[in-house]
Structure 1
């Protein structure tokens, strides 16, 4: 399904310790997290809040486990704050990731976001005014240029509870931005949870995709989130997300489409759950086995 050496497999630390809800996995150390990633058969990770920020310390801890840094989340506020504020933080973030050998920078627009608030996820989803769209597009292009200075790519993360969540919003952003400056992070779980067809979105924007998050969704919990008007964080605690093959997304055509494309880079398993309920090592093993059986990687 995948050409030899075209993709590498990573897993996000959010299954072990949650940056948005530090109480989830608070007892799990950085060392346990990355050791279990390696033991489960993954070779890459994004950066979590417990990771050392000293590049030398982090490199040593990862190298002895044969783990690479893939990227790390960066919040922009281009729709609500002056561009210069975002740029200053972005440059520090870019330089740290470059030092760690990452090739992509994951960016999500958090202006007006409700993803971290105790607000019904679907009833209060934010949207942008035309002038905010303009500031977002131009700001992302400028950040994309800064990423290119280091030979890196800016990949935009569509996300539940933000102004860029639906297929229409992704389409508008892609149309408004230079494909050489702004690329797309394709996340199966956020698309499916937003009532989009992940395969349709992939086929439409595959030429812009330079990073992939593989995340599954449990339909019964997703439906309850809508019916009971739960927040995004409540949805996570209830277990709306899980690893590929453990939920209700049909991953086979998605993986086949990625494999048949020109995509090269990381396939990153990401499934934020309560580690007290969903043992992260067991779920990492589950995901690794599923990808081996389904996609041959």
Structure 2
């Protein structure tokens, strides 16, 4: 990975100022939550209580429907635990014409709820071509030129709707087993989408999983980075997953997503690279670990992760 960037001596004098534009947050993925409803997931009330206990105060709400959809109820539940909501999240198919009406409807529902509670972002998670639970193929692994062009057209359209109608910035999210995974695919997205309406979620773990370097990507495309998911992957398991063509769900079940300081990227180096961008960024902690192996595991890991990241400058919560 990248070497530690040289800090500006004038900034090093006041470390708090250097990192002050980076705001740490949390989301349900840090608690192993992938779905709105699932009997293997922790109840949302308990997760929310534990997120507050772990020391977080900034929230990305994760799979829409896990927390209450009603904006008044959502604001009440977040408020009484001291949380500020900054983003919502949703899956949406962009590369199939017949899927667009449902994608638009779903994201308008997300947009309406999250605009009402003062959020600023909506994270678009790309559909995966292998099912997260059964690991069976559900879509083509490679998009045709026609499907790719529609993907870009609808990404721009959805971003425009989110911004113009709800005041939310849409950030596209790379993901294992999706059509936005490798450095080449990410670059292709940057080249084709309209930066006025489509920003990018620098998910550090998924970028590593896709064979990329999030530090180099942040340096190369600083203007496109609008939001961050900060997490790490075990490079040995990443290599094995690709060598043996594992589904992403199997890789997660086998422990590919790890808590820092383990894994890649190097978190101190990454935080320095984010500080060098000199822009306001929400940096949301995650660790893919569905299903949870043991009760209490997410709270312990999240607390330790928050403290470790804070030791390296990511301390604004």
TM-superposed deviation, 1:59: 1.1
TM-superposed deviation, 1:24: 3.3
Counterpart CA distance in 1 for 2:215 and 2:43 is: 36
Distance 1:280 1:171, change over 3 A: same
Task: Please give the residue correspondences for 1:238-257 in structure 2 after superposition, counting only pairs within 5 Å.
Answer: 238-257=254-273
Counterpart CA distance in 2 for 1:211 and 1:174 is: 15
Distance 1:114 1:246, change over 3 A: same
Counterpart in 1 of 2:115?
Answer: 98
Paired residue secondary structure (1:295): coil
1:293 pairs with 2:311: yes
Counterpart in 2 of 1:46?
Answer: 60
Counterpart CA distance in 1 for 2:264 and 2:217 is: 17
Counterpart in 1 of 2:43?
Answer: 29
Counterpart in 2 of 1:209?
Answer: 225
Paired residue secondary structure (1:272): coil
TM-superposed deviation, 1:259: 0.6
Counterpart CA distance in 2 for 1:4 and 1:100 is: 26
Counterpart in 2 of 1:7?
Answer: 22
Distance 1:32 1:81, change over 3 A: same
Structure 2 unaligned spans of 5+: 1-14
Task: Please give the residue correspondences for 1:202-241 in structure 2 after superposition, counting only pairs within 5 Å.
Answer: 202-241=218-257
Superposed CA offset, 1:142-179 (max 9, x none): 11111112221010001110111111111111111111
Q: Alignment RMSD, CA only?
A: 2.3
TM-superposed deviation, 1:15: 3.2
Counterpart in 2 of 1:147?
Answer: 162
Task: Please give the residue correspondences for 1:59-138 in structure 2 after superposition, counting only pairs within 5 Å.
Answer: 59-82=75-98, 83-110=100-127, 113-114=129-130, 116=132, 118-119=134-135, 126-138=141-153
Distance 1:6 1:246, change over 3 A: same
TM-superposed deviation, 1:4: 6.0
TM-superposed deviation, 1:218: 1.8
Distance 1:156 1:175, change over 3 A: same
Distance 1:181 1:50, change over 3 A: closer
Counterpart CA distance in 2 for 1:108 and 1:101 is: 21
Structure 1 unaligned spans of 5+: none
| TM-score (norm: length of structure 1) | 0.89
| TM-score (norm: length of structure 2) | 0.84
Paired residue secondary structure (1:127): coil
Counterpart in 2 of 1:282?
Answer: 300
Counterpart CA distance in 2 for 1:99 and 1:155 is: 19
TM-superposed deviation, 1:125: 7.9
Counterpart CA distance in 1 for 2:239 and 2:232 is: 14
Distance 1:38 1:16, change over 3 A: same
Counterpart CA distance in 1 for 2:293 and 2:230 is: 22
